[in-house]
């Protein structure tokens, strides 16, 4: 496998999302979330509840929060994170 192929097989800290195929990005995102330390990760029920709230939010756009620019799946996966709205929804 060439260096270029290796760099495309994992999320690169210096790469942009446009450098990845959509399915590859989703796989990398899920791998990242699964790899979070258990003490920092929200439990499954909390994570799912947060995502349901985000799905109903007017500030959700293509998986990103228009208020802070985060990918909501990342933010929802972290126990200590909260909704960035001025009146937090979770």
32-46 per-position pLDDT tens digit: 999 999 999 999 999
Mean pLDDT, consecutive 10-residue stretches, the chain (90 aa), reads 46 68 84 94 97 96 92 95 95
Q: Please give the model's pTM, rounded to 2 decimal places.
A: 0.75
Residue 77 to residues 1, 7, 9, 23, Cα–Cα distance (Å): 32, 25, 23, 20
12: DSSP letter: -
**Which residues contact residue 31 at a Cβ distance below 8 angstroms, ignoring those fewer than 6 apart?**
11
């Amino acid at each position: 496998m060439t260096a270029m192929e290796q760099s495309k097989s994992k999320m690169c800290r210096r790469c942009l999302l446009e450098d990845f195929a959509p399915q590859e990005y989703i796989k990398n995102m899920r791998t990242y979330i699964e790899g979070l330390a258990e003490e920092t990760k929200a439990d499954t029920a909390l994570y799912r509840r947060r995502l349901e709230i985000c799905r109903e939010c007017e500030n959700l756009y293509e998986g990103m929060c228009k208020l802070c620019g985060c990918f909501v799946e990342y933010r929802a996966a972290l126990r200590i994170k909260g909704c960035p709205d001025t009146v937090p929804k979770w």
